[in-house]
Structure 1
Amino acid sequence: MSDLVLYNYFRSSTSYRVRLALHWKGLSFEYRSVHLLNHGGEQHRPEYRELNPAGEVPTLSHNGKHIGQSMAILQYLDEVFPQKRIFAAKPLEKAQILQFCEGINCAHSLQNLKVLQFMEKELGSSPADKNRWLQEWIGRILESSEKMLEKTSGAYAFGGEITAADFFLVPQMFSAQRFNVNVSVYPTLARVTQNCLRLDAFEKAHPFRQIDTPSELKNSAIL
């Protein structure tokens, strides 16, 4: 049994980020699915709340200790397993990577499942209302991300090396396409995403390649 256990959900973009980091660093881990919809959401079960009081995915367990929030997990992995660093050593470069990642994090907080469920159940939002909400906020972060990567990107988000920024970008682009956002108007983001998806770690971490991926999606193309 691995010392690393990842509690996650195949389609969760925050879970996707952590899977990318684990595969990129070549770390063996146990995959435990937390289905966000079954039985009202398995993340709300008391036994899971013991691991993650917020009732969110992902949660990484390492030697019996539990860490939530994808950014915290990525920084932990980079310090404990320093092979193939994903945060730059130079302060300015690291700050720019964090700036990019946190921008996407801000948008994610407006598009995650519990927000959409609240809009529907408590505010009476229609599917059209939710779609308008998603289009607006995802579009805003992609626009600002495009402008940033026009200045910083090479093959990947920050030059020619994979960084944590790529682990935030690719899941956000997956979500954008899932919610029918036109990503073709962000050519830099699209180019970097395509370059990333050609790498083995990104293939392994993709939502359509997980043990809890529904069978009808497992053979879907990822490019």
Structure 2
Amino acid sequence: MSGHYEARTTLGRVINEIEETLIAVFLGLMTVITFVNVVARYVFNANVLWALEATVFLFAWLVLFGVSYCVKITAHLGVDALVSVFSPPIRRVITMFALIATLAYAVLLLVGSWDYWYKFATTASFLEVNDVPFPDWIQIALGLTDEGEPLYDYLPRYIPYFILPFGMALFLARLLEAGWDIITGRRTMLIASHEVEEMLEEVAAQRKED
């Protein structure tokens, strides 16, 4: 069952607000860019060349950022029909085993994503994306210049690709937080078992009718 997340500290509440705001911004930008491109194409017979690539990057940021958010609010789907037949102590052991396996997986993803991104941030920093332009004024403000001239025509790949290690680091952090909540009894599962929940509701409804 998914639950409502309540931060226990002021910092936690601030981070939670930032996460939810960014997810809304990513989704909103995707919608606006897609809408503008459709209008430009079918009404003005024009095309926003960078719209598709920008939407792909925003979607990737939305998904990879959302992975950790769903861990936080217990929204990742799962089936616990088999686990539910065991007693609470055994279910707790199974949940901890699942947590350890997921943590190991998250560490592997973090290491792999860092290695992949680091290449673009260092030796391959000159590589650019295909269509999304990188405004000169932003490059000048960030100091990305060579003798006063901007370094890039298009967005360097290491900027949109940064979500890979960043998203996996957030994923790992949220798993550790979830693990602590399970240990301290604030939480019982890592997943939202909607299928079993619906079945139990149907059984309860049938019993009331009988």
Please, what TM-score do these two structures have when normalized by structure 2?
Answer: 0.33
Larger Rg: 2
Higher helix share: 2
Please, what TM-score do these two structures have when normalized by structure 1?
Answer: 0.31
Q: Which has the higher contact order (CA 8 A, sep 6+)?
A: 2
